[in-house]
A and B are shown apart, each in its own frame.
Chain A
């Protein structure tokens, strides 16, 4: 065979795109967006987190459009996002005032405000519940509404962080608040060494599997010792933007659900008299991702020879869109480049046989 440079295939491509509907046509039942958003919320959370865009209904639509593929859904959301103007930056969001749904500590049993398990799969038996095959969804919905209505009101209070207590004791370093404009990885190419803001933004929107795997590698010995989750909290955080022409006033634009984690480690100082913490914050209820982020934040802070401590390795290879885009491109025709490789091998074999 000689070099084969080709064009064409347009009709086949068009038909191929149409054929995608075949895979969504297996039943006459529609998959309503409300159902995806409200009943597949952990999947929606993951897609929003990896897209870096908090938009539950749009994430549900993206999942419907691509048969539940997280990487395709992330691609769709990122593409859509790129069509919108960014007209606002929120005021500094303070998670201390989070309306808490869950708050636990693996470091202390007694934390200010107490440990609240919220809703968690942690203590469930992983047994298939075959009753869900024919669930009365209306009855379930009504039951939970009735349950809420029957509660005696309990005032919502905010609590300090677990790390605040350690800071008071001098066990964690205290830093002054500083308002340096964050680096924005959606508008600028990453530079190394990366700023802390670039690292946190990149990790927060990273692929869940990628950073979970890296954090696991750290725990297995390819990094520091085992960190302890000082605090994990999930809840609603209110967002505000400045009111036009009245800088002392803000507009409440809504609230987002997020999970944040502080993980404690031994500090680097010689005498080991202090602790240090790593931070993770992600959209939605995605606890393992938030923990993984906090582990990697600390690893990258200390640096070292292992891959999870190498910021270029960690920050350049975990973006869902970029990694899947690059891997996916391998499926596209490489006829010319491959023929070239093939020719080289054939020539070498020919010379050997002479």
Chain B
């Protein structure tokens, strides 16, 4: 699984689930915190469509941390200031890097639920799609 996908699932997951996953890894491995969770800024780089140039939209607060699990490093960066969840994400990432996170089923199940929820929310918004009707002779404009 690509890192992007892994972190998207973990970011969108309830913190309790992520913490439980990390606790399970901690029970059977040696976890060392290399860089304790701390807040930092990430500047958002955007491309504008008029001249296709880059500009900075603004910043977001993130929490970053690095750990090692059985000597293999893992890292996490997540918007917000949830230190515990970000640390748990880094532990999962390290376990993933060290092939100590064998079963992806849980992640895939979480992803399925997340997509389903967003698709339902999307359906609610798509009900506001406009169906234009021509007000003249009935011919389409």
Within 8 A of A (CB), among B22-81: 39-62, 64, 66, 75-81
Contact of A84 among B41, B56, B121, B126 (CB under 8 A): B41
- B130 with A117: CB separation less than 8 A: yes
Asked if residues B41 and A81 are in contact (CB atoms below 8 Å), the reply is yes
Task: Please judge, given known A-B contacts A84-B40, A148-B124, A151-B123, whether A53 and B59 are in contact too, CB under 8 Å.
Answer: yes
Q: For A184, give its contact among B8, B43, B130 (CB under 8 Å).
A: B43
Q: Is the CB of B7 within 8 A of A253?
A: yes
Task: Point out the residue from A55, A155, A250 that lies within 8 Å of B4, measured CB to CB.
Answer: A250
CB-defined contacts of A181 to chain B, threshold 8 Å: 54
Docked-complex contact B61 and A84, CB < 8 angstroms = yes
Proximity bits, A47-78, B CB within 8 Å = 1, else 0: 01101111101100000000000000000000
Known: A161-B49, A178-B53, A279-B49. A117 touches B64 (CB 8 A): no
Contact of B121 among A58, A148, A281 (CB under 8 A): A148
Q: How many residues of A contact B (CB 8 A)?
A: 83
Neighbouring A residues of B77 by C-beta, 8 Å: 88, 241, 251, 253
Is A254 part of the contact surface with B, judged by Cβ < 8 Å?
yes
**A243-B4 Cα distance, complex, nearest whole Å:** 9
Q: Does A285 contact B (CB under 8 A)?
A: no
- The 9 listed contacts between A and B (C-beta, < 8 Å) are A49-B58, A84-B40, A87-B64, A186-B59, A196-B48, A241-B42, A249-B2, A249-B4, A253-B62
In the assembled complex, A332 has its CB within 8 A of some CB on chain B: no
A204: B residues at CB distance < 8 A: 57-58
User: Within 8 Å CB of B3, what residues of A?
Assistant: 243, 246, 249-251
- A244 and B44 alpha carbons, distance in the complex (Å): 18
Task: Please tell me if the beta carbons of B130 and A115 are within 8 angstroms of each other in the complex.
Answer: yes
A114 in the interface (beta carbon within 8 A): yes
Residue of B5, B52, B123, B141 touching A176 (CB-CB under 8 A): B52
Measured in the bound complex, the distance between the Cα atoms of B8 and A94 in whole Å is 16
Q: Which residues of B contact A (CB under 8 A)?
A: 2-5, 7-8, 11, 39-62, 64, 66, 75-81, 116-126, 128-130, 132, 141
**Contacting residues, chain A, for B118 (C-beta < 8 A):** 99, 156
In the complex, the answer to whether B41 meets A154 with C-beta atoms within 8 Å is no
Q: Please judge, given known A-B contacts A84-B61, A115-B130, whether A156 and B122 are in contact too, CB under 8 Å.
A: yes
Contacts of B54 in A (CB 8 A): 92, 178-182, 197
Q: Which residues of B contact A101 (CB under 8 A)?
A: 125
Contact A55 B61 (CB under 8 A): yes
18 further A-B contacts with Cβ under 8 Å, apart from A89-B43, A201-B58, A254-B60, are A49-B58, A54-B59, A55-B80, A81-B61, A93-B47, A115-B130, A116-B125, A119-B128, A153-B119, A153-B122, A178-B53, A201-B56, A205-B58, A243-B3, A251-B75, A253-B62, A256-B79, A277-B50
- Give the contacting residue for B53; candidates A54, A184, A197; CB below 8 A: A197
Residues in A neighbouring B40, C-beta threshold 8 A: 84-88
A310 within 8 A of B: no
Query: Which residues of the other chain, A, contact B4 by a CB distance below 8 angstroms?
Result: 240, 249-252
Could you tell me the distance in whole angstroms from the C-beta of B63 to the nearest C-beta in chain A? 9
Distance A81 CA – B75 CA, assembled complex (angstroms): 23
A8 to B7, CA, bound (A): 55
Would A86 and B59 be within 8 Å (CB), given that A92-B47, A156-B118, A279-B50 are in contact?
yes
CB neighbours of B81 from chain A (8 A): 57
Contact with B along A179-198 (1 / 0, CB 8 A): 11110101000000000110
Minimum C-beta distance from A331 to chain B (A)? 29
CA A64 – CA B75 in complex, angstroms?
34
Closest chain A residue, CB of each to CB of B141:
A109
| A58, B118: Cα distance in complex, Å | 25
**Residues of A close to B120: CB separation below 8 A:** 148-149, 151-154
- What's the minimum C-beta distance from B12 to chain A, rounded to whole angstroms? 9
Interface centre among B43, B66, B116, B130 (most CB of A within 10 A): B43
